[in-house]
Amino acid sequence: MPDFSPSSSRPPQVGRRTLLGAAAAATAAPVVLGSASRAAAAPAPRKKLRALPGGGDLGPNVLVFDPSTPGIQARLDEVFRQQESAQFGTGRYALLFKPGTYSGLNAQLGFYTSIAGLGLSPDDTTINGDVTVDAGWFNGNATQNFWRSAENLALVPANGTNRWAVAQAAPFRRMHIRGGLNLAPSGYGWASGGYIADSRIDGQIGPYSQQQWYTRDSAIGSWLNGVWNMVFSGVDGAPAQSFPNPPYTTLATTPISREKPFLYLQGSEYRVFLPEKRTNARGVTWGNGTPRGTSLPLTQFYVARPGVSAATLNQALEQGLHLLLTPGIYHLSEPLRINRANTVVLGLGYATLIPDGGVTAVKVADVDGVRLAGFLVDAGPVNSPTLLEIGPRGASRDHSANPTTVQDVFIRIGGAGPGKATTSMVVNSRHTIIDHTWVWRADHGDGVGWETNRADYGVVVNGDDVLATGLFVEHFNKYDVQWFGQRGRTIFFQNEKAYDAPNQAAIQNGSTKGYAAYRVGDAVTSHEGWGLGSYCYYNVDPTIVQHHGFAAPVRPDVRFHNLLVVSLGGQGQYECVINDTGSPTSGTSTVPSTVVSYP
C-alpha cells in the first residue's frame, strides 16, 4: 500500500504493492493414509491404530540457542539471506532463545521467520542488540514485509531504538524494549500497518510513515505521530482520543482478551503456557511474578512434521493430544477436526496448511476454549467452500467463560500459486475472540487474477457475542467482512478493496455500487466498532466508484466510532463512508474522508 502522508519524508507518489513475479517452489506431494477396505455385505472391522506419542524433537527448522552457543550471529545471518526476499518460498523457521543474556546480536527477520524467547517472562531472555525488520530487499518499501513475528524477548537496542518496519501478519507480542521502537523502514518509505500486544516499550514508538496500527494491552513511553488510523485499547501511555486529527482512537481497556499460547522451558522441559482470560484488560500480563494461566507439558502435544497426513493429525486429536505444528508446509486431504474442548493448535515458524481437493482446512466443533495460534492457511487450486470454520452452522452454546481464540492465524488465497475459496473464515461459535488475523486475497505473486484466485468473501461472522481485536481483511471479490451475529464488536479494522476489478459491472451489487468492505446484516440489532478503515485502489479501471466502505442497519445500538475511507491516488472513489453518510473522496489527493460517530 502506498504512503501519501505528509508525515513521510518522501514526496507523495502514486503506487501500489508492486506485482512480484516470484512463484513458489513446488511442494512435496501429500502423504495420504489409505482407507480401510470394506466388504460388500458389511464394513470390515476397523483396524486399531497404534497410539501416537506425545512430545519429541522440534525438527531441523527450529533453531534453539543458549548464551554459550557458538556462531549465533552467523546462523541468524544465514537464515536471513535465505528468507529476506522469499515472499512466496517454502522455507519456514523458528529461532528460539533459551533464558539468559545475549550480546552483540542483530537478528534480521525475513519471510516466514519467528523469533521468541523461551522464558516464562520476556525479561528472562535479554538480547543486548536488535531484532530488525527493514525493507532493503524491496527498495525501502515496507508494504510487503509480511509473515514474521517477535515474541517473549527483552531487547536493549544497540543505538537505543529497535527497527520493526512491517506490514500485515507480523505480530509483535510479549516484548520488552528497553529503549524506543521505530516502525518505519530506513529512509521512511511506505509502510502499511501492524500489531503490538502485551508488550512494554520503555521509550517512544515512532510510526512515522505507517498508515495504520493497532496496539493492545501494553505499556509505552510515548507515541510520536499518526497517518490515517492509529488504534489503542488497554494501553498505558497511549495518546488521548483525538480522531481524526491526530487520527487516534483510544479505548481505556480491552473488553475481553486472552493472550496467545507460547512455548517455554521449565528447566530442560518444554511446556506450553496458556494465559488466562482477562476482562476490561489494561497493560501487560507479565512483570509482577508468575503470569496467570495454566501450563501443559510438551508430552501432551503431537509434535507434527511436514509430510504428516491429515489422517495422522486427526488421529492425534482424537487420541486427546494437542498439536504443535513445526515449521513447514502441510498438505491436508481432509479437514483437521477439533472436537475436544480446550484443544490447542500452535504453529511455529509460520507452519502452513494447504487444503487439497477443495476441503476445509480446519473445522472446530461448538466446544469451549479451543486455541488456534500461529499458522498460515493457504488455499489450494481446487475451490474450498470455506478454509477455516469455527463452530458448525447453527452453533449456539454459551462460551463466555471460556471462549475460543484465533490468534495470528493468517489466510491467503493466491500469491504462492493458484488458490480459490468461496469464504475464507466462518465464525459460528458464540463468544469467539479473533485476535489479530490477516485474511488476504493476493493482489500480487503467482496465480493472481480477478477469476484466477476468486474469493468472494473474507470473514463471515454468524455467532453472537464475537469480538475481533486487530482485523485485517483485504481484496475480496465481494464482501470482505459480513457480520450477522448479535452484539459483535471490532476494535481496529484495516481493508483494501480488490485492486483488480475489471470494470464497474464486475463489482455491481444490485443497485449499489460495489460491495462494502464491512457489512453488518440487516437483522442485527446490536453491534459496535472502533477505528475502522477501508481504502480503494482500482488500478485496472480507475473510473470505478464504490458507494461506501461500510454498510449497517440504522439502529441506535448499531454504533461505529472513527471510520475512514481513502482513495489511493484517485484510483477509484468512494461516494460515502457508511451507508449514505460521509463526504466522498475527491480527486487524487489521498485524503481520508471520515465519520467520527454513527449513527
Catalytic residues: 496
Q: Residue 210 phi/psi, 5° resolution?
A: -65, 130
The gap between the terminal CA atoms of the chain, to the nearest Å, is 30
Question: How distant is the alpha carbon of residue 61 from its chain centre?
Answer: 22
Which residue has cell 488476504? 440
- Which residue in 27, 10, 83, 13 sits closest to 356, CA to CA? 27
Give the type of residue at 547: H
Task: State the Cα–Cα distance between residues 554 and 568, nearest whole angstrom.
Answer: 29
Amino acid at 131: V
> What 3 state SS string does 367-418 have?
CCCCEEEEEEEECCCCCEEEEEEECCCCCCCCCCCCCCEEEEEEEEECEECC
Contact 361, 332 (CB under 8 A): yes
* CA nearest to 252, candidates 12, 491, 563, 533: 491
Using CA atoms, how far apart are residues 13 and 15, in angstroms rounded to an integer? 6
Q: What angle do CA 470, 474, 479 make, to 5 degrees?
A: 105
CA 491 to chain centre: 14
Distances (CA, A) of 4 to 372, 492, 521: 36, 21, 33
Residue with cell 508488550: 199
Is there a contact between 374 and 407 (Cβ–Cβ < 8 Å)?
Answer: yes
Q: Which residue reads 550471529 in cell numbers?
A: 73
Write the DSSP assignment of 535-548 as a string of letters: EE---S-TT-EES-
Closest by CA position to 549, among listed 439, 456, 473: 473
**Max Cα-Cα span within the chain:** 76
Contact 233, 251 (CB under 8 A): yes
Give the up-direction half-sphere exposure of residue 91: CA atoms within 13 A in the CB hemisphere: 18
Alpha-carbon Rg of the chain, whole angstroms?
A: 23
Q: For the chain, how are helix, strand and coil distributed in percent, rounded to 5?
A: 5, 40, 55
Q: How far apart are CA 360 and CA 482, in angstroms?
A: 19
| SS3 at position 243 | coil
Give one DSSP letter per residue of 419-461, joined into a string: --EEEEEEE-STT-EEEEEEEEE-SSSBS-STTTT---EEEEE
- Dihedral over Cα of 202, 204, 210, 215: its sign: positive
For 6, left (φ over 0), alpha (ψ -120 to 50), or beta? alpha
* Cα–Cα distance measured from residue 530 to residue 191, given in angstroms and rounded to the nearest whole number: 22
